[in-house]
Amino acid sequence: MKENKDNETLDYTDLQLLDTLQRDASLSNQTLAERLGLSAPTCLRRVRRLHALGLIERSVTVLQPERAASLLGHGLQALVEITLDRQSAEALDAFEALAVAEDAVQQCWRVSPGPDFMLVLHCWDMPAYLALSQRLFAQHANVRNVKAFFATKRAKFSPHLPLLAAEPDRGDQHTLPR
């Protein structure tokens, strides 16, 4: 693999590693190496490099909500649009900091056009949602409008980024911006 002093590059094998790890990060290095036709030391070196490049943010366990619900209860999932009264950089940063500090906020997106933020929330029940909405929306003087949509069914959830095109040229190099 070629490396340029000014840029970091990824080849098709790196993309395969990232794709495979996104699907199952619990694979042992030996299994990962076997799946991609690499030696175990080469595989480990490449995975460590991908971590060092900051491409792998973290590895997590994704729970199956229906199975967890039998033990913990279903909870309440909501997608919430937030429009702020003032949209200065400082106001957007302040609301974002408030939202991401809440454990019940699973995702926080700045969006445009339309609302300023989209939040994905998971609360145990309606009283917990109401308490969260008081902290985030009612007590925050800059929130102008809140529109909540309560989930009735999750048809798909995937944090997977599609990295592999239909049939890439195996000689392709992808350069990461600095």
Q: Which residues, 6 or more positions from 7, have their beta carbon under 8 angstroms from its beta carbon? A: 175, 176, 177, 178
Range of the domain at 35: 8-60
Q: Are residues 15 and 89 in the same domain?
A: no
Q: Are residues 43 and 106 in the same domain?
A: no
CA-to-CA distance for 24 and 154, rounded, in angstroms?
Answer: 21
Q: Are residues 117 and 56 in the same domain?
A: no
CA-to-CA distance for 152 and 149, rounded, in angstroms?
Answer: 9
With 0-12 / 13-18 / 19 or more C-beta atoms within 10 angstroms meaning exposed / middle / buried, residue 9 is middle
Q: How many domains does the chain have?
A: 2
Cβ 102 vs Cβ 136: under 8 Å: yes
Q: Are residues 92 and 144 in the same domain?
A: yes
Q: What tokens appear for 115 in the block?
A: 């609302």
Q: Are residues 81 and 117 in the same domain?
A: yes
CA-to-CA distance for 22 and 66, rounded, in angstroms?
Answer: 22
Whether 49 is covered by a domain: the verdict is yes
Q: So what's the pLDDT on residue 21?
A: 96
Where the chain has pLDDT below 50, the residues are 1-6
Q: Are residues 21 and 76 in the same domain?
A: no
CA-to-CA distance for 121 and 131, rounded, in angstroms?
Answer: 13
Q: Are residues 83 and 117 in the same domain?
A: yes
State the CATH number of the domain containing residue 24.
1.10.10.10
Q: So what's the pLDDT on residue 69?
A: 77
Q: So what's the pLDDT on residue 6?
A: 36
Q: How many CB atoms lie within 10 A of CB 93?
A: 11
